[in-house]
Structure 1
Amino acid sequence: MQQGRQQGEAYLLIRLLQRRFGEIPQNLEENILHLPVERLEDLGLALLDFDTLTDLDNWLHP
């Protein structure tokens, strides 16, 4: 059940990021797909402040 939630949240966030920035590099998508639910929830809020994919990359790799 938890895995299904994690996967669903990850795919939703990827779609939101694609809508905002266009194509997302494969390595960033894979990083998102492997985040735990808690980090996905944090990403959902953080992406509102991203101006570029570099912001996403910096968030994923602090």
Structure 2
Amino acid sequence: MIVGLWRLKMKGAFNSPDMEEITPEYVAQLGKEWFESMVDATPEEELFSLPKFEHRLVQEHRDGHQEGERDGEAKILMRQLQRRFGIVPDWVREKVAKAELSFLENWSLRIFDAQSLDDIFFDKV
């Protein structure tokens, strides 16, 4: 389904009188946007019934999105830590760099009540 819709969209673009203005970068960006919109609009059960190649593309898209979200959360947390505590030690940088998204989200909330880095990164028993 996704590939078929993409072909229809591209046929329309290539038959356009503005074809001279279409650059390779434009086509690549159009493809990325179209793919993202199709993945977002396609029901989950239909995505899982896709042939292996298309399914892999969908999974890579989702993985990339999650990785980007994790990286963004880590960047914001590091900025908050620097603002609150000054110089951030290497052990904190390493912990943040390796952390999963759920940990980053939790730590970014703890920063509001924390008096020290230990209050953020170590659970009190």
Q: Normalising to structure 2: TM-score of the pair?
A: 0.44
Tell me which of the two structures has the higher relative contact order, counting C-alpha pairs closer than 8 angstroms and 6 or more residues apart: 1
> Is 1:12 the counterpart of 2:76 in the alignment?
yes
Structure 1 residues 46 and 17, CA gap change in structure 2 (3 angstroms): same
Determine the structure 2 residue equivalent to 1:28. 92
For structure 1, the 5+ residue unaligned runs are none
State the number of aligned residues.
60
> Is 1:56 the counterpart of 2:120 in the alignment?
yes
Q: Normalising to structure 1: TM-score of the pair?
A: 0.82
Q: Deviations over 1:21-56 (max 9, x none)?
A: 000001111101211111111111111111122323
Identity across the alignment (%): 35
For structure 2, the 5+ residue unaligned runs are 1-64
> Is 1:47 the counterpart of 2:111 in the alignment?
yes
Pairwise CA RMSD of aligned residues?
Answer: 1.6
Structure 2: distance between partners of 1:41 and 1:54? 16
The structure with the larger Rg is 2
Structure 2: distance between partners of 1:28 and 1:39? 13
